[in-house]
Amino acid sequence: MKVKKKTVGLFIYLMLLLLPIYWMLNMSLRSNADILASFALYPKGITFMNYMKIFTDSSWYMGYVNSMIFVTINTIISLFVALPAAYAFSRYRFLGDKHMFFWLLTNRMAPTAVFALPFFQLYSTIGLLDTHIAVALAHCLFNVPLAVWILEGFMSGVPREIDETAFIDGYSFPRFFITIFIPLIRAGVGVTAFFCFMFSWVELLLARTLTVTNAKPIGAIMTRTISASGLDYGLLAAAGILTIIPGMMVIWFVRNYLAKGFAMGRV
Amino acid sequence: MEKWENNKAWFLVLPVFVIVAFSAIIPLMTVVNYSLQDIWGPGQSVFVGIEWFEEMLANKRLHDALWRQFLFSGLVLLIEMPLGILIALAMPKRGWGAAACLVTIAIPLLVPWNTIGTIWIIFTRPDIGLFGAAVNKFIAFDHTARPLDAWITLMLMEVWHWTPLVALLAYAGLRAIPEAYYQAAKIDGASDWATFWYIQLPKMRGVLTIAFLLRFMDSFLIYAEPFVLTGGGPGNSTTFLSIYLVKIALLQFDLGPGGAFSLIYFVIVISFSFIFYQALQRVGKGEQV
């Protein structure tokens, strides 16, 4: 009986969670005039006009492409540098390790609002303004510390005997790390990639500040729907729905790593 | 676990250090630079020492925004942590149900922050919004007119947006507990509550620490969502620190006070995160015995 109650509660929560999303979907399938004219629980005459506009206008769909590019670069850089560092933090004691770890975390705590301006100056000085790599690098500020933090947790769950055995068997460090260790924590790598993707995908302030046209993210482009006649709710809703889809694809891809049990403790 | 002592491990940390230092130290020094000067044009500035800091620390509106911020973050943690754990406990352990739950729960996390504000404007507008229209059938509710309504809407949005993060992390922690622990608990005839308190909660300590700190930091630094939804209003009732900061630094372009403000802000976030971090570490140590 108890299990039943739990499931019902969960079901209600999921429904409530989807409600605002459903409402946005509803709006995206109606024209703006229709939205403002009448209140409707579901779209009466479905129109794909809003979506058509986004898919046929390059200034719209390039926003998605730009976002995808810098998010991917950021995720790769973050994982690449964070994996060895997380290993160092989980296995070794070294001079200033605790301070270093906390300093890394403090970078997540900086109010981006004011750091936006120095970032702009910095990247225009080195000539990277309005490139995907600039945004990817800027997002490393908060994603690399997070990646180190999460990965360190996973790595600490792997008994050190595994490392010792491998070294006794004559594995070199890089070979051990790539062929034995990383596969052991692949769930952790999947989860970390998801978080890097997520935080880079949703961040707007830095991405908007560092781009002009070539690398403009979709979030910044969406602000254009505020025209002279007010908000175009239909178009905004359609753009919003489309921003959710890449993320859903990523979570679908890593769902097994998340769900199958983080077998770390059982190795 | 006893760690190996080896200073060569620094080589493994070096890439992280370089990449983060590049994005952190140079901009931070620029902000420090702003905070010590009175700037009124390109190349035109005068050194003023700690004047801006004194001015900002005595600023009444900053104090108000700070208390508002503490109230907001406090409420966020109080609601989201227990709710997230409850959701994680209720989720199926395996099969397509687990996958479907994970994908659904993660949706709000993947919406760009300004879109979150937009979704909730559409959702809560009294004329076209489902929530706004439904509530207005019973009582007048308008988040653009009344501070309490604005706060309720903001909290709903925040809980909707971020509880999934706590739930996902807690779920990940739960999945890491070996089946043998549960079998042992069953043999001992432990109640559900005892299983939760003595097995699940201690085992989730690591991920819950991450969740707690992330939620504290991000709620304390919140900007885009309330900016889009309420713009800090009605009046100043939802003007949080970031919103006030952007007003000073980017809209009025007072770089000096803005720089001083953001450094004070930064120090507050770091101090609290440090205290929480230490406290949570200690709590865990007590339970491990």
Question: Is the predicted pLDDT of residue B155 greater than 70, yes or no?
Answer: yes
Task: Please state the rounded mean pLDDT for residues A43-69.
Answer: 84
Please, what's the b/e burial string for B8-26 (b: 16 or more CB within 10 A of its CB; e: otherwise)? ebbebbebbbebbebbbee
Task: Please state the rounded mean pLDDT for residues B69-75.
Answer: 92
Q: What is the pLDDT of residue A2?
A: 57
User: Regarding beta strands B44-47 and B37-41, do their DSSP bridges make them parallel or antiparallel, or are they unpaired?
Assistant: antiparallel
The highest-confidence range among A67-81, A202-216, A235-249, B55-69, by mean pLDDT, is: A67-81
Q: What is the pLDDT of residue A258?
A: 59
Question: Is the predicted pLDDT of residue A180 greater than 60, yes or no?
Answer: yes
Q: Which residue has the higher pLDDT, B102 or B82?
A: B82
- At residue B85 the predicted structure's pLDDT band, cuts being 50, 70 and 90, is very high
3-state secondary structure chain A: CHHHHHHHHHHHHHHHHHHHHHHHHHHHCCCHHHHHHCCCCCCCCCCCHHHHHHHHCHHHHHHHHHHHHHHHHHHHHHHHHHHHHHHHHHHEECCCHHHHHHHHHHCCCCCHHHHHHHHHHHHHHCCCCCCHHHHHHHHHHHHHHHHHHHHHHHHHCCCHHHHHHHHHCCCCHHHHHHHHHHHHCHHHHHHHHHHHHHHHHHCCHHHHHCCCCCCCCHHHHHHHHEECCEECHHHHHHHHHHHHHHHHHHHHHHHHHHHCCCHHHHC
% of chain B surpassing 70 pLDDT: 96
What's the pTM value of the predicted model, to 2 decimals?
A: 0.83
Q: What is the pLDDT of residue A261?
A: 39
Question: Is the predicted pLDDT of residue B287 greater than 60, yes or no?
Answer: no
Yes or no, beta carbons of A110 and B24 under 8 Å apart: yes
Q: Give contacts of A160 with chain B, Cβ < 8 Å.
A: 1
Task: Please state the rounded mean pLDDT for residues B46-59.
Answer: 78
- At residue B282 the predicted structure's pLDDT band, cuts being 50, 70 and 90, is confident
Return d(Cα A40, Cα B277) in angstroms, integer.
48
Q: Which of A92-106, B21-35, B222-236 bottoms out in mean pLDDT, i.e. has the lowest?
A: B222-236
Q: Which of A37-41, A128-132, B113-117, B201-205 bottoms out in mean pLDDT, i.e. has the lowest?
A: A37-41
Return d(Cα B200, Cα B89) in angstroms, integer.
9
Q: Which residues, in sequence order, are bridge partners of residue A230?
A: A227
Task: Please state the rounded mean pLDDT for residues B244-256.
Answer: 78
Tokens representing A85 are 């560092």
Q: What is the pLDDT of residue A262?
A: 36
Chain B CB within 8 Å of residue A71 CB: no
B163-178 pLDDT, tens digit each: 998 998 888 888 777 7
Yes or no, beta carbons of B110 and A247 under 8 Å apart: yes
Chain B CB within 8 Å of residue A266 CB: yes
Question: Is the predicted pLDDT of residue B74 greater than 90, yes or no?
Answer: yes
CA B15 from centroid of its chain's CA atoms = 27
Q: Give contacts of B270 with chain A, Cβ < 8 Å.
A: 106, 109
Which of B10, B101, B122 is the best mutation test for A, with the most CBs of A within 10 A? B122
Chain B CB within 8 Å of residue A25 CB: no
Q: What is the pLDDT of residue B285?
A: 59
Yes or no, beta carbons of A106 and B7 under 8 Å apart: no
Are residues A140 and B23 in contact, defined by beta-carbon separation less than 8 angstroms?
yes
Mean pLDDT rounded to a whole number for chain B = 82
Q: Give contacts of B176 with chain A, Cβ < 8 Å.
A: 157, 261-265
- Interface subset of A 196-225, CB within 8 angstroms of B: 198, 201-205, 217-219, 222-223
Q: What is the pLDDT of residue A225?
A: 60
Q: What is the pLDDT of residue B76?
A: 93
Q: Give contacts of B258 with chain A, Cβ < 8 Å.
A: 114
A99-143 pLDDT, tens digit each: 888 888 888 777 777 677 788 888 888 888 888 998 999 899 889
- Whose tokens are 């969406």? That residue is A222
Q: Which residue has the higher pLDDT, B114 or A23?
A: A23
**Could you report the predicted ipTM of this complex, rounded to two decimals?**
0.79
